[in-house]
Amino acid sequence: MKQKIKTALISVSDKENLSIILKTLNKYKVKIISSGGTYKSIKQLGYHCTEVSAYTGFKEMLDGRVKTLHPKIHAGILHDRSNKKHTQEMTKQKFPSLDLIIVNFYPFQKIITNSKNDKEIIENIDIGGPTMVRAAAKNFKNVLIVTNKSDYYDLANEIEKNNGKTTLNFREYMSSKAFGLTAYYDSMIANWFNQKLNIKFPERKTIFGRRFKKLRYGENPHQKSSLYINDYNDKGTGLDQLGGKDLSYNNYNDIFTSLEILASFKKNTATVIVKHANPCGVSINKSPIVSFNNAFACDPISAFGGVIACNFKINKVIALKLNKKFIEVILAKGFEKDALNILKQKKNLRIVDISKYKQKKQTSIKAFDGSFLLQEKDKSIFNKRDLKFVTKNKPTLLELKEIEFAFNIAKYVKSNAIVLTNNFSTIGIGAGQPSRLDSCKIALQKAKLFQASKIKNSIASSDAFFPFADGVLSLISAGVRIIVQPGGSIRDQEIVSVANKAKAKMVFTGVRHFNH
């Protein structure tokens, strides 16, 4: 069912590109009603326009808070043209129909990213705009709603193609976009209040997001996928891609995992290698090249086709090493010119500058079919005051620093997690096994394969307690001399006895770090 556009109401905060649609509306002799700044802009562009206050006979009031909230406006939008009673009521009141509504909202999103002034933020919560949008979107059978300046070209084409009319399919599609916008807008406001009031788990939780880009596919080629940004500044991710193919779903998954790990090293020079959302090499060292080499040495086979993240600038030396290896993505806080030229020789290598990336979210979400889990991020490692040195031999201050490093890495390994470290570098990682003993075996197997000489006097970290002594026995027998774990098993005493017998050192943290 096509609907002729006779009268349009335009009220936009963003005046850009108005001339695109005004030209078309003028061609088909559409009467235009507008308010405030939009009215002035339309007049300046040389088009005739009736001001809302003249149309309704009611002046704007309360500093512009009330201008389009009027029965003549909303009856014109909401009345059903096929309903005789509606038509009679409109005739009696002498209220004409409104056929096209073009509205965008006060820039709440922009203000909130640039201001901490609560009064200014609240004044930029739009009321009249969303009210008109919802009304027009509800009555899409009769009215067309347009909320985005990027749709002006499509709108102009729709009107031209249909000789001044619009199709029902187009109106319904634009209605769906409009309700998406009002939900997005309200969600941003609700989340702002929750943040302001420090409400982490409100009774009703809304998650807003703007599609940043469509991805080629999801985890697998038969799955469709897109990347959304859930932030008031939704123009970018803070990741600046300098070269290579487009980033995939799996790339992003590994990138975000590696950035989480990297952020935990605050002042230390660190290299993190991630494959399938699991770290397979992590090292901190004052020297970037040593950090890089040690991280890669942990498991060079798993690093094949992985993501490498560095919190330092990539120089020519490291770039030459990278070019000899097959990796999907390199993340770094900048690239020297020579290094960038070297890396760009590999056309498929995604080169990403993370200098502008900032972590903002304090919660994580896992979505299921009809529900989702929301929790605080695991930001702690352990409280040093709560550590229990349960064996006869106690760690030194230097060993305590590496114990903290090892236990921190275990947070990011899929459970059950066992991490072996030596000199602030991982040498073996066992991840994602239902049995902790199997994770111990895998970590040792990796270490024996690539860095057997470093197992002796190494540190083993476990994300949860050992339910039996077998895992501890396997670690100690291989040469591990320090074990850090939460403790809390009914067999803790038996496990401590095994460590004491081997003259090993064991520390209980009292903190578990499951990561599923």
The CA angle 313-318-322, to the nearest 5 degrees, is: 115
Mention every residue, 6+ apart, whose C-beta is less than 8 A from residue 225.
214, 215, 216, 217, 218, 219, 249
β-strands 144-146, 31-34: how paired?
unpaired
Mention every residue, 6+ apart, whose C-beta is less than 8 A from residue 348.
244, 245
Q: Strand, helix or coil at 72?
A: helix
Alpha carbon 456 to its chain centroid, in Å, reads 41
Q: What is the rounded distance in angstroms from the CA atom of residue 28 to the CA atom of residue 44?
A: 20
Q: Residue 436 half-sphere exposure, CB side, CA atoms within 13 Å?
A: 21
Task: Enter the tokens of residue 452.
Answer: 């057997």
Amino acid, res. 261: I
Residues 52/68, Cβ–Cβ less than 8 Å:
yes
Q: What is the rounded distance in angstroms from the CA atom of residue 106 to the CA atom of residue 61?
A: 17
Q: Which residue has the tokens 């930001």?
A: 379
Residues 466/485, Cβ–Cβ less than 8 Å:
yes
138 part of the active site: yes
Q: Which of 15, 149, 245, 276 is catalytic?
A: 276
In degrees and rounded to multiples of 5, residue 393 shows phi and psi of -85, 130
Task: Enter the tokens of residue 275.
Answer: 């494959």
Residues 483/499, Cβ–Cβ less than 8 Å:
yes
- Cα–Cα distances (Å) from 366 to 363, 371, 512, in that order, read 10, 9, 19
Q: What is the rounded distance in angstroms from the CA atom of residue 128 to the CA atom of residue 214?
A: 32
Mention every residue, 6+ apart, whose C-beta is less than 8 A from residue 115.
121
Mention every residue, 6+ apart, whose C-beta is less than 8 A from residue 123.
106
Sheet with 329-332: list strands edge to edge.
240-243, 350-353, 329-332, 307-310, 270-275, 278-284
Q: Which of 6, 138, 313, 316 is catalytic?
A: 138
Q: What is the rounded distance in angstroms from the CA atom of residue 194 to the CA atom of residue 209?
A: 17
Q: What is the rounded distance in angstroms from the CA atom of residue 53 to the CA atom of residue 67?
A: 7
513 part of the active site: no
The CA angle 458-461-465, to the nearest 5 degrees, is: 135
Residues 347/244, Cβ–Cβ less than 8 Å:
yes
β-strands 372-376, 388-389: how paired?
unpaired
Q: Which residues are catalytic?
A: 138, 276
